[in-house]
Structure 1
C-alpha cells in the first residue's frame, strides 16, 4: 500500500516539502494552525515568493482544475493522525526574544498536538532546525503521549533548502541525512526519498544528535566562509589590496573553493544568523561553549559590515552629514530570488542612513511589500530608474540579476551625482566607470 504523508507547518519549509512530496507521487495532507495560510494554499497560492513553488503547488492541490489532487490541507490534528503513515514536522524555530537560544515552542506544540491522536504505528520525522538533544526529548514525548506508545517512532531528517532554490533542493537534494533508531524508520525514509536516491543522492544514516548537528554545522561553516572573506576585505581596505582578486586566487584551491567568497555587506535572513547564535547558546548549555567562541567573532564581523557600508556611503558623499542627501538603495531582500527581508543587511543599511537624516528610496524586484511593512518610513520606488532619479549616491545591496543588467549610462542621466557603492561586489566596475560613475566597493581599490 502506498505511503501517505502529512506535513505539519506550511511556512517556507513545509509548503515546499508538501508540494514536493505530492510531485514525488504521494498523497499528502498539510496542516497549519493559521486559517489564512490554509485558505491561500487551498487556492494554490503561496504566502512567500519562491521560484517554481506556486506552479508546483497548483499542479497538485485538490480542487484546482487540471491538478493531480494529491495535496490537501487541514487544521485538524485528528484528521492528520488518521490520514498519515509518516508525519513531517516543519514548523519554525525562531530566535528567542532577548537571547541567543532557539525558541522550541512551535515544535513542542506540534508534537503535543499530534501525539495524543496517534493510535496506530506511525513515523514522525522532524525537519525543523533544533538544538542538539531535542530529538531524544521529543521521542520520549511521543511515546509518552501517543496511545500507540512504542509503535510511534521518531526520525530526524534536517532540511538544507536554499531560498531561491528550494524546489530544486527538495526534489534533487545534494544529500539526505536520516537520524534514526530502527531499521523500520530507515526503510520508510528510503521509500519516501526513493526517487532522489535512484538519481544518486547520498543517504547518510546517523544517530539523533549527529542529524541535529549537521544543519547547524553546515550553516556555521557557510557563515564562517562569508565572514572570513569580509575580514580579508577589511585588511585589503587597510593595505590597498583587491579582495575580488584575492578571492579568485584562493578559490582556485579546491580545498577552499570559490563559493561563498564574495565580499560585501554580509549575510542575513531567517536562518544563518539565528542558527549560529542558537548553536553558541546550546554549546554553552552543554559546557562546550569554548568550542564555538569563534562564531561570536563570525557574527561580529558580519554585523560590522553594515556599519562600514554606512560609513563608506558617508565618505563618498563628502564625509559629513547625510542631511539633504538622496540615497538610492537597490535591494531590500537578504538575498536575490526571494521576498524574504528578515534580518536583511540591505534594509539595515537603508534604515541606518535614514535615521541619520538621509532621504532613502528603495527598490527591490520582489521584496517591496515585506520591506514596507518592516520599514514604513523609508521611501519606495516602482523601478530601479525611479529609485535612482535625483540620487546623490546609489547603493547596490542585493545581487539581483536585474541590477547587474542595468545600463549605467541610462541611470547616469537621471542621477544627481554618478556615485555607485557596490555592497555585493557583483557589478562590473569598468562598465560603470566607463559611463562616468565613481565606483566603490568594499575591499577594492578606488581606481
Structure 2
C-alpha cells in the first residue's frame, strides 16, 4: 500500500517550511508530506497523487493567497477528492470565507495563525483518523448494500405479495435512513462551526488567572456557549457564560448570533463596560430577530465579567444569571438583572454593573441553569440552586481540574438513580459551568 499524503498549501516559504518540518517530524514515518506555494501547484499535486493511487488524507490551506483564495482552492480540491479532509490555516479568514469553505468544501477545521505545534499535530492526527473512519464506513456501507441486494434476490423467490411488501418497507426505511443521515450530517457541521467559534480558554494570556470549563451539551449542538475577549481595554479580560433559548439546533443558531454580536460589540464598536456590552447585545438581538410586542421571546440569559488587572476588580453584569464568588472561605452571590437579553421584564430596558474587589485570592463561577435544574437523586427532584452553591463552596479550594471532575462525577451520580424499569435520568438541558480563580500579586 502506497504512503498516504498530507498536503500543505501557503504562499509564504517560512510557513510551508514550518508545516513540513512539524508534520514530517510527527507523521513522516507513515505519511508523505507534500507542500505547494499556490492553488495551481496544489491541484497538480492532488491529481498526480490520485493517479498514483495514493490517499490524500488531509489538505491544509492558507486563506489569503494570490490569484485563488483558500476557500476556492478547497472547493476545487473537494470536486476532485471529496473524501480529503480540508483544514483552513490563516489569521485573516472572513466569516464569508469560512462559511463558503464549510458549505462547498466540507471544511473540517479552522486553525488560526500562529498555531500551537501540539494543537496542529492533534488536529492532523484526528483528521487522519476521521479520513480512515469515513473510508471504512463507506466500505462497510458498500458491503451492506451488496448484502441487501442478495436479500432482495432471495425475497424475489417468495410470493409476490410478500416480495412487494418487503420491497416497500425497504424503500421506506432507506428513505428514512437517508433523511436521518442528512439531518445528522447537517447537525454535525453545525457542531463544527460552533466549536470553531467558541474560544479555547487555554489561550488566555493572563498570568493572574486560572480557568476550567465544564460543558455538557444535551444534544450534538448546544444553546449554551462560553466566550472570552482580551479586546476590552489594557489589562482587562472579558469572560461570559450564555444560555440561549432552547437547546439543540434552535439554541445553536441563537448562540451563533450571540457570539457574532459579542465580537462586533467588543472588537468593532469597542464597547468596554460590562453593563453597556449587555445593553448593546440586548438591542442587537432584538434588531436581528425583528422582534415586536407579543412575539415569541427568543433570547439569552447570561453572566458576564470583566477582570481589571490594574484596579484588581471584577465588573459584573447579568441577564437573569448570577455570579458566585468565594473569598476567605465565604460564598457571595451577585444576582443578574431579571431582564433577559432580547426579552422584556416590566419597564426595565438596561442592565446594571456591579464591581467587586478581588485584590485577595478569589474563586469565581459563571453558569447556566442546566446543572441546578437537572432531575435525579433518590426522589427524582431537581439538583436545585442551594445545593449547587453548597457544592461550589465545598470544592473551591481544590485544583481547578479536580473541581471540574467533581462537578462531572456529582452530576453523573445524581442522574444514575433509576427512574423506572432500570432506566436512568436523561439530561434535560445544556449544562455549562465556568470557574476562574483570580490571584493578583500583592
TM-score scaled by length of structure 2: 0.30
Question: Going by fraction, where is strand more abundant, 1 or 2?
Answer: 2
Whose Rg is larger? 2
TM-score, normalised on structure 1?
Answer: 0.30
